[in-house]
Structure 1
Amino acid sequence: MSYLGVGVSPGNVPVYHVTNVRLVDRRMRVAELVLRCVICGLGVLAVVLVGTDTQVREIFSIRKKARFVDMKALVFLVMVNGIAAAYSLAQVLRCVVSMVRGNVLFSKPLAWAIFSVDQVMAYTTVSAVAAATQSATLAKWGQPELQWMKICDMYGKFCNQVGEGVGSAILVSLSMVVLSCMSAFSLFRLYSGTKGRSSARR
Structure 2
Amino acid sequence: MPQTILTAVHHELLIKKSRFIACVQPMTDRATAQKIVAELKSQHPGAAHVCWALLAGGQSAAVDDGEPSGTAGRPMLDVLRHQDLEGVLATVVRYFGGIKLGAGGLVRAYTDSVAQALLTADKIAIIKQRFLICSAPYALEGMVRREIELAGASLDNVVHADDVKFEFSFPATAAEALITRLNESGHGRISWTNPDDE
TM class by smaller structure: under 0.3
Report which of the two has the higher share of strand: 2
TM-score normalised over the length of structure 2 = 0.26
